[in-house]
Amino acid sequence: MLAVGASAAALVALAGPAWSQSASSTLIEELVVTAEKREQSLQDVPVAISAFTSEQRDIVGINTVQDLTNFTPGFVYQSSNDRASMRGIGRLTNVHSVDGAVSIYIDSLFTTSTVLAGGPPLDVDRVEILRGPQGTLYGRNAIGGTVNVISRRPTEDFYAEVRAIAENYSFTNLQAAVSGPINDKLRFRFSGYKLDQRKGYFTNIAGGPSEGSKRDEYQAQFQIEADLGENADLWVSYKTLVWHNRGGPGARSGYLGDRYETGRTDPNFSIVYNSAHAFSPETGLNGIVPGSLRTVGTGINTNPALDDSRDFQTNIPQRVRLRDVNSLTTNFVYHLPTVDIRYVGGIQEYKYDLYGDTDATNVLSYQIPLAPGSVCGNVAALFAAGRSTVNCSPLTVNANNGYHYFEYPTWFSHEINISSTHDGPLQWIVGAFYYNEEYTGTGSTADFFLVGPSSLQTPVLGAAPNPQNFWSTGNYSLTTRSKAVFGQVDWQATETLKITGGLRYTKDKKFGTEFRRIVCNSDACYPGLYAALGLGSLGPGTAANYGSLLGNLSALPAVGQAFGLGNALAPLGALGNGAFDLTDTLAPKSTAGLIEGVKTPSVCVSGVCRQYVIGPNGVASRDLSDTSSAVTGTAGIQWDPDPDTMAYARYSRGYKAFGFSAGGFLAVPKADKETVNSYEIGLKKNFGRALQVNVAAFYLDYRDLQAPVAVRVGATNVTQFVNIAKSESYGVELSTIWQPTEALRLSLDYGYNPTNIKKSSLLVDVNDNVNTGAVSVVGNALPQAPEHKLALNGLYTFNMDAGKLTFGATYLYRSKSYANVFERQYNAAPSWDQVDLRAIWQPEDDKYTVIAYVKNVFDTEGYAAAVAASQRNNNPLVPSDQFRNGARNYELTPPRLYGIELQYRF
C-alpha cells in the first residue's frame, strides 16, 4: 500500500521499484510490501525486489506479465507458453510433472499460472517480484524467484469504479468494481471485466479467421472481509474466469521464419506424410501428382510469413478454451499481544484446451506419384485387362492434420505461520506448508490426429482400432504432493546492524500413470512391415510402389493371384487394411534392470524386460513414482549507517523438485532435482531529496538444470529432460529514479546478466542437420537469459487549476537470448527495442481519469522470448529438401497499439 504523500508525487509514480522516504523526506513515495511475509518498507527489505502498484501500472502502461518483465531486470516471460524465467533460471516446458522455477502467489496462494500475474490494475493492488531463490519463506520451487500478486481489498467506505478501454484491432475491455461495508464488521468487494478483441495480429491468407491475441473472455471476483471480534480477521475470495479465444497462452504469437519443409516426410512427425509436401517445387517422383492438390480457401505455395511476418495460412484455426475455472482463497489471522497466527489456504482448478493445425498449412490432400514398374501400376494395368479383382491408384494423402493440447488440474494448499509482532530486536516467523495437485494433461507436445477418414483408424496385424485418428498421443495423470516446514529469524544486533537466518525442509512426491500410443501411416514404417512379411521381392513398402494399396494387407491374396502366384499370399489376407501400430516397437525396454522412477512390474521374455502394459484400446501405460527432498535457507547481514542508506549481503539456497518426462514414454523418464546457491550484495541509497539508486550484484551457482532436449525415438521426436551438471548466472541490476522537481521524473532499470554452462555431458541437437552427433554445450548461455535488459522512462506533469496532465515516454531494449542449451542462431531471439508514449489527464476532484497511449510507436518487431527451431531435413537427393539447420521460429511482441482508457469513480 502507498503511504500518504503528495498527490503530484503519486501521480507521477514510476513503474519500477517504488522507493521509500528517508527521514529527510524525498519526492519519491514509500511503498510497503509483504515480500518477507510481514509489512516492511520496500527500501528496508534486503533482497532485490521490483514492485508495481496499480497506480504505477496505469501511469506507465503495464497491462500484462510481458509488460512487467520490461521493467524488471532479469525477468523474462514467454507469453505463448506461459513460462517465466528469472536470472536464467525458469520454466522451459509446459509438462506439469516438471515444475516451474519461478513461484507465483496470488494473495499468498500458490498457483501454477503466470499469466494471472498480469491481472487488471482495477483488481490488483500491487505486484511484488523477488529476484533470486526464495528458498525459505517461499519454498514451492522458488529457485529462480517469486511473483506475489496482492488483490485490492474491500473498503470501509462505499466505492465504485468503472473503466472502459478501446484500442485498435477492435479491442474493448469493460471493467467494473464495487466495494463497501455490509455492517461495521463486514465488508465486500465485487469486480469483473469483459474483454473482446475481434481482430487478431495475424492474418490467415487462406481465408480463415485472424489469430493472435483475438480474445473473448470475462472474469468475476467476489470478496468478503470480516472482523471476527477484536483479535481475528478473515478474508475470503472467489474468482472465476472464462476464455473463448484465438489468443492467450498457447495461441498464435509468432511465425516460421524459413520456407516450408516440403519433403515427403518431416522429421518432426515422419510417421505421417508431410502436408507441406503438397507445395514441393519438385516434379516427377519427388513431387505430387499434377492437379491432385486440394486446399482450403486461397493461398500460395510458399510460406506467406517470408513476405509478411504476420501472414499465415492454415485450414484448422487455433482455438483456446479455458473453462471450469474456480479459485477459492482464504486468509485468516488471529492477533495475540505479541504474535500473529495466520492461515492461508485455498483450492483452484481449471480446464484448458488448445486446438490447432499441426502442419501450419491449408492443405487438405494430395496424391503421391507412382514409380515405374510399381506394384500399384501393374495391378492397375491387370485390373484394366480384367486379370485382377482389385484395382490401384496413386495414394491420396489425408493432409488435414490437427492437434489437441490440454491441461486439467485441481490443486489445494494450506499454510500456517506464526510471526512475532512486538518491537523487540528479535523478530521471527515459523510455519508449515502442504500442497496437493491432481493433474491430467498432454505431454511435452500434444495429441496429434488426422481429420476425416484415414487408414490410421484401422491398424493392421490385429492392433486395437483407433477411431479418433490419432497418430501420436501421449498424456498422463499425476499427483504432486509437497510438504514443508520453515522458519526465519531477524536479529537487530545493533542500531545499524541486522542479521538474518532462515531454514526450510521440503519433501516432494509425484506419482501417477503415463499413456502413449503411436500409429504410423507413412514411408517411415511400411518398408519394414512388408519386408517382415516376406514381400521384399515385390519392391519397397512405399506409397510410390503400393499406391492406394499401401497398408491394405487384406488385398494381398488378390494381388498374389493377379501376379500369377496362386494362393501363395493367401495367409496374409486376415492381417487387415490400415496403418501400422508402433506403440510396442518404440516403447522402452530394458536388459539392465528396472528403470528409475517406473513402478509398473517388469515382465521379461528372453532377457528383454517390459515395464509397461498395452491395454485393449491399444494404449501403453506405466506407473511413475518418486520423491525428492532438500534443506534450503538463507543467511544475511543488513547495515543501515544512516536513514538514507541500506547495504546488505545475502546467501540463499534454492531447490526445485525432481521431474518426469511424463507422456513421452521414454527410457529415462526422470530428471533429478535442481539446486542453486545464490550470493548477493546490494545497496539502496537516497542522494538528497530527488535521486535514488538501488543496485544489486549477484552470483548463482546452479546445479542440475532440468533441460528439455529433443531425442529421436524411432520415427518420432520426444522431449527428454536431462540434468546439466553445473551452470552459473551472475550480473548487476541497477534501478534509479531522479526527480529533480515534482513535475519531472526520470528512471532507469537495467540488468546485466551473463550466464554459461560450466559442466555437462555431450548432447545431441536434433535441429542440427550438419553435425548430427553429440556436441558440447559447455560455455553456452542458459535459456531465456538476455545479457542486457534496459527500460528508460520519463514523465512530466503539468499542474493546472483544473487538474494534472502527465506525458510519459518509455524506451525498452533487450539483447539476444536462446531458447535452449544449444546456443545456435536458429534458436535465438534477436535483440530488439521499442518506444511507448502515454498521456494522462486527471481533474482536481479525481472523479475520472483519461489515458491515451501508443505502444510500440515505430511498429518494430520485438521478441517476447526465444523459441527453439523446428527440426528439418537435409536430403542430399532432393534439392528443395535441404535445410542446413532447423527452421527458425519467432515469438513476436504485439505490433503498434493505440487506444484510450476512461476511468470513472463514484
Q: 442 forms bridges with which residues in the sheet?
A: 475
Average pLDDT over residues 735-762: 95
The torsion angles phi and psi of 11, rounded to 5 degrees, stand at: -65, -40
Strand partners, 799: 804
Please report the beta strands in 17-117, taking only residues with DSSP state E, as ranges in sequence order: 32-33, 40-41, 49-53, 75-78, 83-86, 89-90, 102-106, 109-111
As to burial, measured by CB atoms within 10 angstroms (0-12 exposed, 13-18 middle, 19+ buried), residue 754 is middle
Burial 553-579 (b: 16+ CB within 10 A, else e): bbbbbbbbbbbeeeeebeebeebbebb
Strand, coil or helix: 875: coil
Residue 445 has pLDDT above 90, yes or no: no
With a CB cutoff of 8 Å and minimum separation 6, the contacts of 188 are 154, 179, 180, 182, 222, 223, 224, 225
Q: Which residues of 434-473 are buried (b: 16+ CB within 10 A; e: fewer)?
A: ebbbebbbbbbbbbbbbeeebbbbbbbeebbebeebbbbb
Straight-line distance from the first to the last Cα atom of the chain, in angstroms, rounded to the nearest whole number:
21
Beta-strand runs (E) in 108-185: 109-111, 124-131, 145-151, 159-167, 171-183
Higher pLDDT pick, 118 / 602: 602
The candidate with the shortest Cα–Cα distance to 314, out of 304, 328, 322, is 304
Above pLDDT 90, what percent of the chain?
A: 82
Q: pLDDT tens for residues 378-421?
A: 999 999 999 999 999 999 999 999 999 999 999 999 999 999 99
Which among 22, 136, 146 has a CA at the least distance from the CA of 72? 146
Express each pLDDT in 284-294 by its tens digit: 999 999 999 99
| Cβ(80)–Cβ(253) below 8 Å | yes
**pLDDT tens per residue, range 168-199:** 999 999 999 999 999 999 999 999 999 999 99
Given a contact cutoff of 8 angstroms between Cβ atoms, the answer to whether 550 and 396 are in contact is: no
**H-helix segments, 496-588:** 526-532, 543-546, 556-562, 583-586
**Among the residues of 364-418, which ranges form H helices?**
375-384
Q: Which residue has the cell 509398473?
A: 600
Reply yes or no on whether the pLDDT at 561 is more than 80: yes
470, pLDDT greater than 80: yes
pLDDT at residue number 95: 85
Provide the pLDDT confidence category of residue 886 given band limits of 50, 70 and 90: confident
Residue 60 near residue 808 (C-beta atoms within 8 A) = yes
pLDDT surpassing 50 at residue 708: yes
pLDDT of residue 35: 72
Which candidate, 489, 518, 674, 81, places its Cα nearest to that of 320?
81
Question: What is the pLDDT confidence band of residue 816, given thresholds at 50, 70 and 90?
Answer: very high
- 701, 731 contact by CB (below 8 A): no
Residues 665 and 645: their CA atoms lie apart, in Å, by: 56
Buried-exposed string 817-844: b where 16+ CB fall within 10 A, e elsewhere: bbbbbbbbebbbbeebebebebebbbee
pLDDT digits (tens, 9 = 90+) for 258-311: 999 999 998 878 999 999 999 999 999 999 999 999 999 988 999 999 999 999
CB 809 within 8 A of CB 796: no
H helices of 339-455, in order, are: 375-384
Rounded distance between C-alpha atoms, residue 253 and residue 215, angstroms: 13
How far is the C-alpha of 205 from the C-alpha of 570, rounded, in Å? 51
pLDDT higher than threshold 80 for residue 30: no
User: What pLDDT does 12 receive?
Assistant: 33
How confident is residue 2, by pLDDT bands cut at 50, 70 and 90? very low
User: In whole angstroms, what is the distance from residue 578 CA to residue 549 CA?
Assistant: 10
pLDDT tens for each residue of 324-354: 999 999 999 999 999 999 999 999 999 999 9
Q: How confident is the model at residue 884, as a pLDDT? A: 83
Q: How far from chain centre, in Å, is Cα 390?
A: 51
CA 298/CA 238 separation, integer angstroms: 47
- Alpha carbons 237 and 277: distance in angstroms, whole number: 53
pLDDT tens for 664-691 read 999 999 999 999 999 999 999 999 889 9
Mind listing the pLDDT tens digit for each residue in 500-510?
999 999 999 99
pLDDT of residue 1: 30
Average pLDDT, the chain: 92
Reading phi first (left if > 0) and then psi (alpha if -120 to 50, else beta), residue 71 is in alpha
Residue of 786, 785, 836 whose CA lies nearest to 812: 836
CA of residue 360 relative to chain centroid, distance: 20
Q: Which of 108-112, 726-730, 860-864, 892-896 has the lowest mean pLDDT?
A: 108-112
Q: Name the H helices within 463-581.
A: 526-532, 543-546, 556-562
Predicted local distance difference test score (pLDDT) of residue 92: 87
* Residue 54 reports pLDDT greater than 80: yes
Interval 837-861: pLDDT, tens: 999 999 999 899 999 999 999 999 9
CA 318 to chain centre: 17
For residue 411, the SS3 value is strand
Instruction: Give the residue, 91 or 569, on which the prediction is more confident.
Output: 569
DSSP-assigned beta bridge partners for residue 686: 692
CA dihedral angle for residue 768, residue 770, residue 773, residue 778, rounded to 10 degrees:
-60
Start-end of H helices in 336-453: 375-384
Provide the pLDDT for residue 14.
Answer: 35
Q: What is the pLDDT of residues 497-550, one digit of tens each?
A: 999 999 999 999 999 999 999 999 999 999 999 999 999 999 999 999 999 999
Q: What is the pLDDT of residue 10?
A: 31
Amino acid at 741: T
Query: How much is the pTM?
Result: 0.92
> In the predicted model, what is the mean pLDDT of residues 703-720?
83
112, pLDDT greater than 50: yes
- What pLDDT is attached to residue 696? 97
Which regions of 264-338 does DSSP assign to beta strands (E)?
A: 294-295, 311-312, 319-335
Instruction: Say if CB 241 and CB 252 are below 8 A apart.
Output: no
Residues in the chain: 906
Residues forming a β-bridge with 313: none
Say if residue 835's pLDDT is above 50: yes
572 in Cβ contact with 556 (< 8 Å): yes
The residue-averaged pLDDT of 570-583 equals 95
Report the half-sphere exposure of 896 (CA within 13 A, side-chain side).
7
Do 630 and 119 form a contact (C-beta atoms < 8 A)? no
Q: What stretch of H or E contains 65?
A: helix 65-70
pLDDT of residue 27: 64
Q: How far apart are CA 97 and CA 481, in angstroms?
A: 11
* Residue found under cell 519461478: 102
Joined together, the cell numbers standing for residue 841 give 489527464
Give the pLDDT of residue 15. Answer: 34
Query: Quick count: other Cβ atoms within 10 Å of Cβ 492?
Result: 16
Contact 588, 665 (CB under 8 A): yes
- Strand partners of residue 857: none
Burial of 405 (0-12, 13-18, 19+ CB in 10 A): buried
Helix (H) or strand (E) holding 59: helix 54-60
Convert the pLDDT of each residue in 359-368 to its tens digit. 999 999 999 9
CA atoms within 13 A on the CB side of 206: 23
pLDDT at 4 (0 to 100): 30
